[in-house]
Structure formats: C-alpha cells, structure tokens
Amino acid sequence: MNDLSWAATQLAARKPDHSLPQGLYTDPRAFDFDLDAIYARSWLMAGLECELPTAGSRLALTIGKWPVLIVRDKTGEIRAFHNSCSHRGSILCEAGHGSAPRLICPYHRWTYGLDGSLLAAGRMPADFNKGEHSLRPVPLRRVAGAIFICLADDPPEFDSFGQQFEAYAGPLNFANLKLAATDLMVEEANWKLVMENARECYHCPTGHPELGQSFPVQSAQDTVDRDFVEAMDRLGLPHAGVEGSWWQLARFALNAGCSSISMDGQPVCSRPLTTLNGGNVGSLRWAIDPHLFAHATGDHVFVFSCMPVGPRETHVFSRWYVHKDAEEGRDYQIPALKELWLKTNLQDKELAENNHRGVLSPGYRPGPYSLEAERLVTRFADWYCQSAKDYVASHG
Ligand code: FES
Ligand code: FE
C-alpha cells in the first residue's frame, strides 16, 4: 500500500466528532503525508514585520523539512524565497534572524540581491545567464504587520482572513512592536496532539493553575462580558468571534481585574501597545490551522507556533513582542515576560507527551470530543481530515 492509499484508509476510518485513528498520530507514514498534505499547502504565519526592521534584515525558518528565507529589501518590500542556492542547492542562510546587504551562499559564494536575483557567480562561462538563476520565490502576504507564507504555488484563499485580521489587529499597530524574547520547546509527541491540546481549555482548570489567574479558563471564550463588549464597541474595536476554514479571530475579556495574560494578570511591560480603555483591551486571540495561536493584550503579544520535525517530535516556537520603545530592565524584565507561557507550555508539553504515550497503547480507540469544551479541537480535526482528503483526492 503506498502512503496515499494508507492515508486514505486511515481518513475513511475516522468517526465524526472523535479523535483520530491511531495511525494518523503514531505511524511514521503520517509525518511525510502531513507535511505534503497540510504544511506544504497552508498559509502559515512566519512572524511579524518588526522582526525585519531594516533593509537586509532576514529571517530563515524551517517548515517541516523545508528551509525558507524571508528578506526585507531596500525599498521596504518583504519577500520570501526557498532557502536553497540556485547553484547546487546549499542552504543560503542559517535558521534565525540576521542582516546583510546581499545573500552570499557559504558554499561557492554565489551572491544574490535582496530581491533574489543572482548578482555574481564566479568561474562560470561568459555566456552564463544569471537572469535564469534567481532564488525561487515563495508566496507571501503582509497584513496588519504580520507575515504569512504558503509553500504551495496555488495557496488557499487569503483575503477573507486578511480583511478581518486587519480590522481586529490593526488598532494595536503591530508595526510598533519588537521581538523581545523567544523560546524553543521540543516535544515528544505528534504535532496533531500538540495542536489538539492547544485548541482546548478543557484541561486548563486542572492543568494550568497559573494561566487561570488571568485567562477565563472555565468559560467558553464567547461568554459575554457586557461591560467589556460595551467598552470595545465604544472604541470601535471589533470583538465578535469570526472564523474561516483555516483561521479564527476573537477579542475577549480577561478575568475581572486583569488586563494582561500574565502570572498576576497585570501588564508585564509598562510601555503599552495601546492606551485605549486604559490599556485593557482584553485579549485578541487569533488561530491559524495547522500551526499557531496568538494572544495580543494591551501590553504584549505572545505567539505559539508548532512545527513537526518527526513522527513523534514537534518543535514549539514561542515569541514575545513588546512596544519597540520599551527598554529591557526598565519597562520589562525578560523572565517576567516569559514566565506564564513558559510554565503553561511546559505543562502542555507533559500533557501532549503523555497523550502520545497513551495513544500508542493497543487499547487506544478514538474517543468522543466534548462538543461544548472541545469545539475547537473538533474543528481542527475536521479541518485536518478534510484538507488531507482533498489532498488525497487531487493526488491519488
Ligand atoms: Fe551555493 Fe554552490 S551551492 S554557491
Ligand atoms: Fe494547555
């Protein structure tokens, strides 16, 4: 059985509103299938534009096993390329942030401009046409200060998300942010278990005592807090939950007396992103399938991004952003900025790894989701199965 027909059999066995068949979580074939069917075909949030502050700034990242490079050029344009040299394919830039006026391959020094054009290639014949050897572009969209990329030549529809994201995130002015801290957590669990866990708060009351200080872990996020809704309406800040097939957006109130998602519910940065409503604008949550959730409160932005690196290994990248004029040590302390989500992510890592070990049991059978407490998990699993079936149908 080839991998596609294996996947089709697994997908056909999925019971509605139940967790997935065992093989989709544990079989090594699911890893390559998921990268091809899901990660290569979805819009992913690569980061925020503030991570590329000047001409020549770049960010190299790996999507599954594929290296991608994002660069800001001299005109301010931001472009994405496959991070693979047009000569013999070497990685051009190591993963992470950097800055240089040109992109020089470390192998034989082929040199590219910030627009991806090949500028120099030593010892090639006189009739060598550099114009035929530019870097291969990757589709990229910029909206409200965020950067989205998709490895597919025919990406899914973007604009309905883009318009809503602009309306919800625009007032927080992400262009005024800076990346203040990052973290990489390696989890011994299939990426779908990591994401299912990230899409529900059924486990939060017992699993995350610290998060529960500020985050309304007991209630559905669309529970109406009348004062909050009236304040947001007065300020023209959209708050109602909206969603498309691969995204969700909502602005919701935090627990009484809290204006940030932090250990004590108070701001972790004294230089606010907004002074609207005294800096208390609840949390703007956005979620992108397959890989991300984020929270923007009045003082900082937290982004969680999940990347599969093996059938049972997942990288969780966390990023914290604050106002660009905030000064470390004066306006914020890195340990305090990171403390809540580091604790929460570590708790989630243990839950997801424990989940994976249990799913390996011969006694595992897909179980029913709570449609009240796990609506977003059901939605994620449904989206995954539908995307995977579409891929099988178009490649079978
Ligand atoms: Fe890049 Fe040779 S592989 S210059
Ligand atoms: Fe959790």
- Residue 34 and residue 15 in contact, taking contact as beta carbons nearer than 8 Å: no
Average pLDDT over residues 94-107: 98
Chain segment 335-362, per-residue pLDDT in tens: 999 999 999 999 999 999 999 999 999 9
Find the range with the poorest average confidence among 38-52, 82-96, 210-224, 301-315: 210-224
Cα 343 from chain centroid (whole Å): 19
Among residues of the chain, what percentage have pLDDT more than 90?
97
Ligand 1 pocket, CB under 6 A: 85, 87-88, 90, 105, 107-108, 110
Contact 251, 239 (CB under 8 A): yes
Q: State which amino acid sits at residue 361.
A: S
- For the residues 296-311, what does the mean pLDDT come to? 98
More confident residue, 59 or 2: 59
pLDDT at 222: 52
Please give the Cα distance from 57 to 210 (Å, whole number): 36
Question: In whole angstroms, what separates CA 395 from the centre of its chain?
Answer: 26
Q: What is the pLDDT of residue 212?
A: 96
Residue type, 331: D
- Supply 65's token pair: 């096993």
CA of 135 to the centre of ligand 1 (A): 12
Domains of the chain plus CATH, in order, are: 1-41+162-396 (3.90.380.10), 43-155 (2.102.10.10)
134 SS3 class? coil
**Distance between Cα 97 and ligand 1 center (Å):** 21
Say what the pLDDT of residue 2 is. 78
The neighbourhood of ligand 2, an ion, using CB within 5 A, equals 348
Task: Pick the more confident residue, 184 or 220.
Answer: 184
- Please give the pLDDT value at position 158: 98
Phi, psi of 339 (to 5 degrees): -55, -50
Question: What residue spans of the chain are helical by DSSP H?
Answer: 3-12, 22-26, 28-34, 159-169, 191-198, 204-207, 226-235, 334-359, 375-395
For the cut 70, the answer to whether the pLDDT of residue 88 exceeds it is: yes
- pLDDT at residue 1, as a whole number: 67
Query: Which ligand approaches the C-alpha of residue 348 most closely?
Result: 2
CA–centroid distance, 212 to ligand 2, in Å, is 11
In the predicted structure, residue 298 carries a pLDDT above the cut 70: yes
Closest-CA residue, ligand 1 atom 4, reads 108
